[in-house]
Amino acid sequence: MTDWRFTLHRMSGFLRTLFGSKMAIAGLIILIVYTFLAVGANVITPYDPETSIVAGAYAPPSWYRYLSEGSALSQNVFLQQSPGFFSDPLQSGTSWSFAASDPRVTASYDPSFSYVQGGGSVRVTLDRIAGPGNYTATFKTTFDWPYPGPPARLIASLAVNAPAGSPELPVSATLFVERISGGYAKWNLTDPTSTIVRPAFGSLLSKDPLITYYRTGTNATWVPGEPVIYDSNGNGKYDTGETAIVGSLPQKGATLSTDPNLKYIDTSKSGNWTAVDSVVYDSNGSGFFDAADTLVAGQSTGNNNLSWSSYPFTTPGWQSPRSLDSNSGTLQQVVQKRGLNPAQLIFGSKDQYTFGVRVTINSALSSATPVNVYLDNMNLKIYGTSFGLLGTDYQGADVWSQLIYGARISLMVGLLSAFIGILLGLVVGLVAGYLGKVVDEVLMRFTDMLLVIPGLPLLIVLVTVLGGAFGSGRTLALILVIGFLGWMGFARVVRSQVLSLKERPFVEAAKAAGAGSGHITIRHILPNIVGLIYVNLALAVPGAILAEAALSFLGLGDVSVLSWGRMLNLVETTGSQKIWWWVIPPGLSIALVSVAFVMIGFSLDTLFNPRLRQRI
């Protein structure tokens, strides 16, 4: 029989004997399950364990909803799974609809113009032949909120492009959510009261010497685009706290210039400019607002639309909201419920809701050129109060994803550290036991010295010192430190076995035949302690996993990756000890994997130890 057939036959016999132990089978099943989860994490879950926000913070598992305590929990509702319009939302069969205050305001799908790469946008067009007026259009969709309880969070998004927008042609957009039934049923997610009103032609223009501008060129008079500042103390320099009527604020101490044609319409009848008054550049010096004049800043009837990066839309290019997250103070201020999450206010019960945008175009003149406003990236994400198999953490990240990604690091650190420790212990034990005398004495005294040093404090010191050399990625430092401090016990066990084996007749015969120390160690002694190596390797892994978990729990682990120990560290540092669905999974996983290796180790010990071997 050839060598490979003999080896195969011996291996099959070994496995049959091993699988005859129920303890070994149970341990292998546990290890196979966790290994499958660790290796297939990228396929099993689509979420990043730390950066993907999948639901509200501290959301219990979805199955908790079927218990009486969780009957009021909700789940996620996303109007669109991916942002952007990749097909015509206005075609029949979709939930989107369009309505306008005038038939000359129309909407169509433009597949070639988009905020999101590869998509299209909804184009709202005003035929300006209709003449001056305030034109409004609404683009919306209807959906159901099927849960008795409120969500934890909502995030609304919209990108707007108004290429023709200008101070003379202001375009505004307001996102809203509306409940179909009920009392107070409409909530604006962007400030609806803020709008720019164009003054009527013929309005009297007044002078205020404190209306100044910041000169950006060599021009002697104000030119469009330059900041207009209200110099409240009249010192001719910009001081912190002074108001920018239009444009960006200059640096503190910048010189301000005056232009007698910068005037205002005294709507407030206060005798000087106030925030509600329009500012006009009187180009012809007539003292009255007419078609030749430039509207610098229109009358504001609201509080300056809190949620948009530029209002009104007077610059080309796509503009997105600054913050439409119900967790932000901005949206709470818009809804005028400071301190109350708008998601919980709006979606208080089961009902049908409408999500949409209201576009307003203030056209002062007739023109043959139409006005186009493009809408894209319109979505409403409502994050529920329950999610997935194991719920979410303090940020709303998926605990299940953290658990299976954490299995990678915990298993890798445990296996590699145990392998390093067993390898070092094997080398030291073989050398000390076979060579004996001075070598044995030196190696064993060094081993004893390391054995009496408290393990955890030494680990903490070494990881702290060596971890700095690895930066934030301390996984390698953990593996090396745990491995290099885990060999002493095995070295003494190997030494005792070698001391016994080297006195056996077959070793004496090899010496008499002229075999060297290396040949005897590799060919005669090592094969007789292979079983000991397997057993101790299996039993060393749980200790390495627990050491990594302990160090990570104390904040000394690798912060760039997630392990079971770091999960417990996050629980502790965020004060989430009562969130059982976040605490139990990593702790239980550490215990199960440790028990699995112990069961396999005991089974191997029973198999290799003649005194414990059971004949099946």
| Residue 56 forms part of a structural domain | no
Query: Which strands sit side by side in the sheet containing 279-281, from one edge to the other?
Result: 262-264, 279-281, 294-297
What is this structure's pTM? 0.75
Beta bridge mates, 352:
144
Domain termination site, one of 248, 279, 297: 297
| Residue 528 forms part of a structural domain | yes
Position 77 scores a pLDDT of 94
CB neighbour list of residue 103: distance below 8 Å, 6 or more residues apart: none
Q: Does 245 share its domain with 214?
A: yes
| H-assigned helices in 355-512 | 399-435, 437-452, 455-467, 475-484, 488-501, 505-512
Region 230-237: mean pLDDT is 87
The range of the structural domain enclosing residue 259 comes to 199-297
Position 303 scores a pLDDT of 43
Q: Does 586 share its domain with 509?
A: yes
Q: Does 597 share its domain with 473?
A: yes
Q: Decide if pLDDT at 238 tops 80.
A: yes
Region 144-154: mean pLDDT is 92
Q: Does 339 share its domain with 432?
A: no
Position 304 scores a pLDDT of 44
Q: Does 518 share its domain with 589?
A: yes
Euclidean distance between CA atoms 199 and 206, whole angstroms: 13
Q: Does 316 share its domain with 438?
A: no
Q: Decide if pLDDT at 13 tops 80.
A: no
Beta bridge mates, 145:
351
Position 468 scores a pLDDT of 63
Residue 264 has phi, psi (to 5 degrees) of -140, 160
Region 446-450: mean pLDDT is 89
Q: The domain that contains 567 carries what CATH number?
A: 1.10.3720.10
Position 171 scores a pLDDT of 82
3-state secondary structure 8-19: HHHHHHHHHHHC
| Residue 503 forms part of a structural domain | yes
| Residue 277 forms part of a structural domain | yes
Position 32 confidence tier, pLDDT thresholds 50, 70, 90: very high
The DSSP line for 218-279 is S-SS--TTS-EEE-TT-SSB--TT-EEEES----TT-B-B--TTEEE--TT-SSS--TTS-E
- The gap from C-alpha 275 to its chain's centroid, in whole angstroms, comes to 40
Q: Decide if pLDDT at 320 tops 70.
A: yes
Q: Decide if pLDDT at 331 tops 90.
A: no
Q: Does 187 share its domain with 277?
A: no
| Residue 502 forms part of a structural domain | yes
- pLDDT: is 445 or 522 the higher one? 445
Euclidean distance between CA atoms 456 and 307, whole angstroms: 52
Strongest mean pLDDT among 107-121, 185-199, 321-335, 509-523:
107-121
pLDDT in tens, 253-306: 888 999 999 999 887 788 888 877 888 899 888 999 887 888 887 655 444 444
| Residue 172 forms part of a structural domain | yes
Position 128 scores a pLDDT of 77
Position 220 scores a pLDDT of 85
pLDDT in tens, 74-121: 999 999 888 788 889 988 788 899 999 888 899 999 999 888 888 899
Position 194 confidence tier, pLDDT thresholds 50, 70, 90: very low
Q: Does 133 share its domain with 278?
A: no
Position 610 confidence tier, pLDDT thresholds 50, 70, 90: low
| Residue 117 forms part of a structural domain | yes
Q: Does 316 share its domain with 169?
A: yes
Q: Does 132 share its domain with 207?
A: no
Region 336-345: mean pLDDT is 74
Domain termination site, one of 265, 297, 329: 297
Largest Cα separation within the chain, whole Å, is 123
The DSSP H or E segment spanning 360 is strand 351-363
Strongest mean pLDDT among 355-369, 490-504, 513-527:
490-504
Euclidean distance between CA atoms 589 and 602, whole angstroms: 20
Contact criterion met (CB below 8 Å) for 61 and 388: yes
Helix (H) and strand (E) counts for the chain?
Answer: 15, 18
Position 1 confidence tier, pLDDT thresholds 50, 70, 90: very low
Position 302 scores a pLDDT of 44
| Residue 58 forms part of a structural domain | no
Position 470 scores a pLDDT of 60
Q: Decide if pLDDT at 185 tops 80.
A: no
Position 109 scores a pLDDT of 94
Indicate the range of 158-162, 582-586, 607-611 predicted with least confidence: 607-611
Position 305 scores a pLDDT of 46
Q: The domain that contains 104 carries what CATH number?
A: 2.60.120
* DSSP reduced 3-state for 147: coil
- The gap from C-alpha 170 to its chain's centroid, in whole angstroms, comes to 36
Count of domains forming the chain: 3
pLDDT in tens, 467-516: 666 655 678 888 888 998 889 999 999 999 888 888 888 877 888 887 77
Domain termination site, one of 281, 297, 313: 297
Q: Decide if pLDDT at 2 tops 70.
A: no
Q: Does 203 share its domain with 188?
A: no
How much of the chain, in percent, has pLDDT values that exceed 90?
35
Q: Does 432 share its domain with 573?
A: yes
